[in-house]
């Protein structure tokens, strides 16, 4: 297990500001389902840590190393601590969120679900936030259908600018159970349905992995040699497809068009070079926005108004027209440049709605 804390910073500020400020300190534990060396999930943790530093939250992250049973065990261990955190943040990876929500709630730890929502059968058992488990205070889930749709639409439209006579697409999805993967495929299918001249040959499962996707792309090219459009549910799988396309001597960006998702550094570089049409992303930032909501909640400003669940825009597409603006500000991923207090209703009571969009981020 890996622990990321900011205890030194916190103690320093307590010394500077006195006991009144210290009393408002909240402790947040994030059960990260990914690997501790996995680009996307490390980005999630890093963005949360930057937010925690700005918002004076004590932050701890535990990595499950892609083992959903470990996630559940970690939740139970945190719930059994003598000194319990105020909040536990969990992800419904491999449909494992239910037992984690229950463990936190039974220990009177407020729990927040992010990135992957409960599926229908889970909702029947665990309900919605603040129903069966009052300590389950909220959920923040990006619109994965929109993300899948955006990737497909941008790839197709870019190919159409090249006057290709046929449009043959293959798709590399993540897995068959994670809600984000399922919903992104639904978005892909919606986009394809809007372009009658596009034929989607097959959707395969790359399990989110670059090397596996490279191997699968080689197989897809043998099976469908006319392929010229590639949709991938995340950047590592898109980059794996690119590796296979290069080895097959395809004209990437001219007769072969690829899109992915994550805003990862290699994918951003590929977009800048014209090797990828787009990388849709912003969802790795969700954890940081959750920290804003938890900060406000702890300070008495509930993010739920009149019982309404809110769904702020999270996903945005980076492509040839906006990549230089994004890279000029955040190419080095130094998230400490962001003032997270600017997104808080406690710090800025004039805010009517939470705005976590790319435009809002670039404006601040």
Does pLDDT of 323 surpass 50? Answer: yes
Q: What is the pLDDT of residue 250?
A: 97
In the chain, pLDDT over 70 holds for what percent of residues? Answer: 92
Q: What mean pLDDT comes out for the span 236-250?
A: 98
Pull the structure tokens for residue 177.
């159970």
Domain with CATH 3.40.50.2300 in the chain: 7-142+283-313+332-363, 144-281
pLDDT in tens, 41-91: 999 999 999 999 999 999 999 999 999 999 999 999 999 999 999 999 999
Look up the CATH number of domain 144-281.
3.40.50.2300
Q: Which residue has the higher pLDDT, 39 or 219?
A: 219
pLDDT in tens, 80-137: 999 999 999 999 998 999 999 999 999 999 999 999 899 999 999 999 999 999 999 9
**For residues 340 and 50, what is the distance between their CA atoms, to the nearest angstrom?**
8
pLDDT in tens, 195-232: 999 999 999 999 999 999 999 999 999 999 999 999 99
Pull the structure tokens for residue 149.
């749709």
Pick from 241, 162, 166: nearest CA to 198? 166
pLDDT in tens, 280-292: 999 999 999 999 9
Q: Which CATH architecture has domain 7-142+283-313+332-363?
A: 3-Layer(aba) Sandwich (3.40)
Q: What is the pLDDT of residue 161?
A: 94
Question: Is the distance from CB of 343 to CB of 356 less than 8 angstroms?
Answer: yes
Q: What is the pLDDT of residue 239?
A: 98
Give the model's confidence band at 25: pLDDT under 50 very low, under 70 low, under 90 confident, else very high. confident
Give the model's confidence band at 15: pLDDT under 50 very low, under 70 low, under 90 confident, else very high. very low
pTM over 0.95: no
As a 3-state breakdown, the chain gives helix, strand, coil percent values, each rounded to 5, of 45, 20, 35
Beta strands in 16-82 (DSSP E): 26-32, 57-63
Give the model's confidence band at 172: pLDDT under 50 very low, under 70 low, under 90 confident, else very high. very high
Number of Cβ within 10 Å of residue 325's Cβ equals 12
Q: What is the pLDDT of residue 310?
A: 66
**Position of tokens 């470990």?**
70
**For residues 242 and 222, what is the distance between their CA atoms, to the nearest angstrom?**
15
Q: What is the pLDDT of residue 309?
A: 67
């Amino acid at each position: 297990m890996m622990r990321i804390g900011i205890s030194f910073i916190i103690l320093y500020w307590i010394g500077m500001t006195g006991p009144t400020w210290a009393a408002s300190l909240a402790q947040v534990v994030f059960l990260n389902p990914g690997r501790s060396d996995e680009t996307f999930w490390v980005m999630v943790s890093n963005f949360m840590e930057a937010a925690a530093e700005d918002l004076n939250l004590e932050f701890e992250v535990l990595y499950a190393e892609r083992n959903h049973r470990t996630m559940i065990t970690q939740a139970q261990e945190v719930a059994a601590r003598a000194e319990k955190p105020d909040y536990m943040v969990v992800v419904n990876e491999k449909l494992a969120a239910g037992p984690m929500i229950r463990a936190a709630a039974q220990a009177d730890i407020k729990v927040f679900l992010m990135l992957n929502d409960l599926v229908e059968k889970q909702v029947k058992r665990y309900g919605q936030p603040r129903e069966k488990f009052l300590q389950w205070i909220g959920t923040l889930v990006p619109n994965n259908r929109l993300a899948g749709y955006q990737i497909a639409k941008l790839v197709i439209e870019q190919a159409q600018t090249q006057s290709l006579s046929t449009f043959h697409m293959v798709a590399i999805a993540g897995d068959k159970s994670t809600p984000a993967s399922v919903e992104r495929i639904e978005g892909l299918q919606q986009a394809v349905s809007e372009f009658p001249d596009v034929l989607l040959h097959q959707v395969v499962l790359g399990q989110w992995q670059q090397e596996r996707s490279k191997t699968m792309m080689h197989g897809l090219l043998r099976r469908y040699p006319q392929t010229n459009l590639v949709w991938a549910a995340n950047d590592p799988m898109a980059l794996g497809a690119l590796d296979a396309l290069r080895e097959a001597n395809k004209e990437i960006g001219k007769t072969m068009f690829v899109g992915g998702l994550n805003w990862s550094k290699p994918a951003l570089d590929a977009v800048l070079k014209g090797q990828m049409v787009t990388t849709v992303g912003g969802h790795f930032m969700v954890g940081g926005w959750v920290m804003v909501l938890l900060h406000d909640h702890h300070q008495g400003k509930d993010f739920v108004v009149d019982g309404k669940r809110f769904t702020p825009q999270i996903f945005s597409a980076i492509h040839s027209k906006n990549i230089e603006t994004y890279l000029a500000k955040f190419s080095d991923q130094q998230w400490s440049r962001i003032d997270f207090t600017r997104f808080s209703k406690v710090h800025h009571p004039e805010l009517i709605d939470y705005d976590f969009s790319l435009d809002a981020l670039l404006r601040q």
